[in-house]
A and B are shown apart, each in its own frame.
Chain A
Amino acid sequence: MYNIAMLPSSRVSRWAASAAGVLAASVLSVAVARGHYKPYAADAPPYRQLGGAAAKVQIVEYSDFQCPACSAAHKSVKQVLSVYGEKTRVTFKHFPLEKAHPFARAAAVAAECAGRQGKFWDYHDVLFERQKEWVPRHEEGKPAPSEKAPAEWFAAYAAQLRLDKAAFAACLADPAANAAVDADLEEGKNLPVGATPTFFVAGKRFVGGRQLSTLGTLWIDKKLKNP
């Protein structure tokens, strides 16, 4: 039963009740917006793993080939691998942000198909290093008439890396290649990955190349000293 006598009677208690209400509403909003995080699996096909087989520090990267920040972070990842060598191992996970980057999934599938022929990392490097070449410059994300379509670039890169042309084409049409991208994407959404590139370095999250090369390397040093 509601009883008016239950309401705070003094000015101070009414102020405290109001402050508590504001705080409770804030906490509740975050709890509702956050939902439930799910654990992630660090596994991926062997061709998407690079570094020491018995590395002390595992780095799991969720990335998008069409994302400029991922292309910039590519240098940071290479630097980490060159500095720490066999002490670290990078596992690549596809996380194409298709709303913003309409060709990211196709690029991920192409890289996946290169991986099946043992050239994932070579293809990965080409996609990031030549991102400005294959991403259409046209405002609406469609290639201008004079531009080559991304699919043509993907085929050209496959040829440059001497991939088997027929096997590459068959793989692009294989639903399993798309399913591999979907599996990573779903896993990333559950973590949640909200921005690319997101790195999990020995379980700790770092977003972007700058965080990886600054705070991330400090974390790697710490984990190498005290695993």
Chain B
Amino acid sequence: MNDAKTTAEALPRPWAAWASIAARLALGAVLVVAGAGKAAAPTEDFAAVIEAYAILPVGLTLPVAAALPWAELLIGYALLGGFMTRWAAAAAAGLFSAFVLGMASTLARGISLHNCGCWGFNWHVPVPVSISLDIVLAGAAVWLRLKGRPMFSLDRWVTEGS
């Protein structure tokens, strides 16, 4: 009995592996689409969106506007490929949490954002909807960081060579 229980506990749970892949694809796709759209557009456009949040000093908006889309892209592709998955998931959780805090702070301060800059420049959704989506995505990223499995991933290839 004891042996059987131990074996069952040691076996990887298939649903967790498939859920990891689903989480990686969903998080990765969102970050790649949002990041590519913003990185391809003029940096000043995204800087103007960041300015509307009234959080960063003017001198920092352009550097952040230049770096953030590339961070989204790199984290997104890392998740899609399953490369350094746990670190990428932690970074994604940090990004989505920061977006949630940023948008919530504008609501608290009565700032009306015409474009939250969340999903690239071609898809504008109301701020409360964006906050809800970001909370779900942050949750998925945290789960992937803590419980994710490396099936069909570059991490597996790097460690096992197959």
CB within 8 A of B114: which of A26, A35, A69? A69
- For residue A195, give the distance in angstroms from its CB to the closest CB of chain B: 5
- For residue A206, give the distance in angstroms from its CB to the closest CB of chain B: 6
Question: A165 vs B80: C-alpha distance in the bound complex, in angstroms?
Answer: 62
Residue from the set A15, A195, A211 with the largest chain B CB neighbour count within 10 Å? A195
Question: B residues within 8 Å of A by Cβ?
Answer: 32, 35-37, 39-42, 44-45, 47-49, 51, 58, 62, 70, 73-74, 77-78, 81, 83, 114-115, 121, 154, 157-159, 161
Q: Is the interface of B mostly helix, strand, loop or mixed?
A: helix
A195-B45, A208-B51 are contacts. A34–B40 as well, Cβ < 8 Å?
A: yes
A207 and B48 contacting across the interface, CB-CB below 8 Å: yes
Q: Which residue of B lies closest to A27 (CB)?
A: B73
B157 and A25 contacting across the interface, CB-CB below 8 Å: no
A33-B40, A210-B58 are contacts. A195–B48 as well, Cβ < 8 Å?
A: yes
A22 and B83 contacting across the interface, CB-CB below 8 Å: yes
A18-B154, A25-B77 are contacts. A33–B51 as well, Cβ < 8 Å?
A: no
* Number of CB contacts from chain A to chain B under 8 A: 86
Q: Does A23 contact B (CB under 8 A)?
A: yes
A11 and B158 contacting across the interface, CB-CB below 8 Å: yes
B58 and A18 contacting across the interface, CB-CB below 8 Å: no
B42 and A23 contacting across the interface, CB-CB below 8 Å: no
Question: A32 vs B35: C-alpha distance in the bound complex, in angstroms?
Answer: 13
B42 and A26 contacting across the interface, CB-CB below 8 Å: no
Residue from the set B32, B44, B51, B159 with the largest chain A CB neighbour count within 10 Å? B44
A215 and B70 contacting across the interface, CB-CB below 8 Å: no
For A25, list chain B residues within 8 Å (CB): 77, 81
Interface string of A14-30 (1 = CB under 8 A from B): 11001101110110011
A22-B81, A23-B74 are contacts. A211–B48 as well, Cβ < 8 Å?
A: yes
For A19, list chain B residues within 8 Å (CB): 83
CB within 8 A of B37: which of A9, A21, A33, A210? A33
Question: A195 vs B42: C-alpha distance in the bound complex, in angstroms?
Answer: 10
Residue from the set B40, B62, B83, B114 with the largest chain A CB neighbour count within 10 Å? B40
Question: A30 vs B76: C-alpha distance in the bound complex, in angstroms?
Answer: 13
For A46, list chain B residues within 8 Å (CB): none
CB within 8 A of B58: which of A22, A32, A207, A214? A214
